Amino acid sequence: MLRVLKLCYTALQIALLVACAHSVKVPLTPVTLALPSLSAPPPPSRDDALKQLQATTPCCRGWSELPFQRALPDEPQDFAFDRFSPVLELDGQRTHFLAFVLPGFKRSYRLLFKAQPSARHLQSSYLFAPTLTVLDAQFQPLRSEDLKLCEYIGWRPALSGAFGSFAIDDKQAKYVVITSSPTQLKATTYWEQSPAGFSAAAGPDPATRGNFSIPHGPNGAFSFGRLTPQYESAVQNGLCGKPKKNAGLLPQWRQSIAGMLP
Each residue of 63-85: pLDDT tens digit? Answer: 999 999 999 999 999 999 999 99
Angle subtended at Cα 181 by Cα 178 and Cα 185, rounded to the nearest 5 degrees? 115
Q: How far apart are alpha carbons 221 and 241 in whole angstroms? A: 22
pLDDT at residue 204 in the model: 36
Sheet with 131-135, edge to edge strand ranges? 98-101, 175-179, 131-135, 141-146
pLDDT at residue 121 in the model: 80
Of 232, 163, 233, nearest in space to 191 by CA: 163
Q: With H, G, I as helix, E, B as strand and everything else as coil, classify residue 163.
A: strand
pLDDT at residue 3 in the model: 53
Is the predicted pLDDT of residue 19 greater than 80, yes or no?
A: no
Q: Which H or E run contains 10?
A: helix 2-25
63 falls within a domain: yes
Total domains present in the chain: 1
pLDDT for 112-122, tens place per residue? 999 999 987 88
Q: How far apart are alpha carbons 100 and 69 in whole angstroms? A: 7
What one-character-per-residue DSSP string does 166-232 give? EEE--TT--EEEEE--HHHHH-EEEE-S-HHHH---SS---PPPS-EEEEB-S-EEEEEEE--GGGH
Q: Are 166 and 111 in contact (CB under 8 A)?
A: yes
Q: Are 176 and 133 in contact (CB under 8 A)?
A: yes
153 falls within a domain: yes
218 falls within a domain: yes
pLDDT confidence tier of residue 96, bands split at 50, 70 and 90: very high
CA atoms within 13 A on the CB side of 260: 5
103 falls within a domain: yes
196 falls within a domain: yes
pLDDT for 202-255, tens place per residue? 333 444 456 779 999 999 999 999 999 999 999 999 999 877 665 544 454 455
The residue segments making up the domain with residue 117 are 46-260
4 falls within a domain: no
Across 152-158, average pLDDT: 85
Give the largest Cα separation in the chain, rounded: 103
Across 38-61, average pLDDT: 87
| Burial class, 223, CB count within 10 angstroms (exposed 0-12 / middle 13-18 / buried 19+) | buried
34 falls within a domain: no
26 falls within a domain: no
In the chain, what percentage of residues exceed pLDDT 90?
A: 61
Tally Cβ neighbours within 10 Å of residue 11: 10
